[in-house]
Amino acid sequence: MTRFPVPLLEQVPLDVGLYLPEVLTGFVYEEDLGERGDFHIDLGSAQAVMFTNLLTGMFRSVQRVGDPAVPGGELAGTIVPRIAEMQFSTPEQTSTDYFEVWVRYQFQLYSRDGVILGEWPLTAYGKANTQNYGFVTTEPTLREAALAACRDAMAFFTVQFRTIPVVQQWLSAELLQGTPAPGQAQPALPGSPQQPAVAPGGPAPASGGSTTGTAPGGAA
């Protein structure tokens, strides 16, 4: 089974672009905590499959683009994700058997004309039990916790997406051929959740285990 299954959703009948910047696909987590160990995880290599599968389940079609400002074709818009920050806690810090990971994403939405419409954050949480990984526990457990956070981000994105004001305006313009006139009610969008999204319920990270990832050629 794939680590990032395509979500089964009511698809938005639009064709969208996906731009994956190098700062995302090259994201590497590194930190030296002295006696607690050195931590290194390549999270960037998972992002292409993750976001391609996510948007494949949400939209009629998804196409990778080389520049969100020049999308080309008949794409209704382009979504650009990046990792803004990553944090973790170790079993020693929390007195448990778990590594815990928090990943904060930042998303941008571009129009079909290549104009940036807005952006929004999303925080995801994952954990993994060291008891599941035998004698060599640190690297595989931390990586699995990070991948669990990625899956959490996929799930939360599907819930949150239609609650973002800039996304609602964009969908209205694309699906309904224009936004409502001033004073008129916002029409319901297909599959819109009735309640605003809430942040994932993961506990706050322990101190001493946070960092931002770095990508080749610059900071995340």
Compute the half-sphere exposure of residue 215: CA atoms within 13 Å on the CB side of its CA. 19
Query: Where residue 12 falls among pLDDT bands split at 50, 70, 90?
Result: very high
Residue 7 maps to a domain: no
pLDDT higher than threshold 50 for residue 218: no
d(CA 119, CA 156): 16
Number of domains in the chain: 1
Residue 182 has pLDDT above 70, yes or no: no
Where residue 127 sits, what CATH number does that domain have?
Answer: 3.40.50
Q: How many CA atoms lie within 13 A of 63 on its CB side?
A: 17
Residue 112 lies in a domain: yes
Measured CA to CA, the distance from residue 175 to residue 135 in angstroms comes to: 54
Residue 113 above 50 pLDDT? yes
Give the residue with greater pLDDT, 191 vs 103. 103
* 194 band by pLDDT with thresholds 50, 70 and 90: very low
The answer on pLDDT for 36 being more than 60 is yes
Is the residue at 136 inside a domain?
yes
pLDDT (average), residues 108-131: 95
Q: What is the mean pLDDT of residues 9-26?
A: 96
- Whether 196 shows a pLDDT value over 50: the answer reads no
- Residue 3 inside a domain? The answer is no
Inform me whether the pLDDT recorded for 103 exceeds 90: yes
> Is there a domain that residue 2 lies in?
no
Q: Is residue 79 predicted with pLDDT exceeding 90?
A: yes
Cβ-contact 125, 102 below 8 angstroms: yes
> In the prediction, which pLDDT does 179 show?
42
Rounded to the nearest 10 degrees, the angle between the axes of helix 47-58 and helix 138-160 is: 20
Mean pLDDT of the chain: 81
Q: What is the mean pLDDT of residues 182-205?
A: 45
Please state, in angstroms and rounded to a whole number, the distance separating the CA atoms of residues 50 and 40: 20
The whole domain housing 203 covers 12-219
Higher-scoring residue by pLDDT: 213, 122:
122
129 vs 177, which has greater pLDDT?
129
Query: Does residue 6 lie within any of the structural domains?
Result: no
Worst-scoring range by mean pLDDT, 99-108, 125-134, 171-180? 171-180
For the cut 50, the answer to whether the pLDDT of residue 210 exceeds it is: no
How high is the pLDDT of residue 37?
Answer: 65
Provide the residue type at 203 as one letter. Answer: P
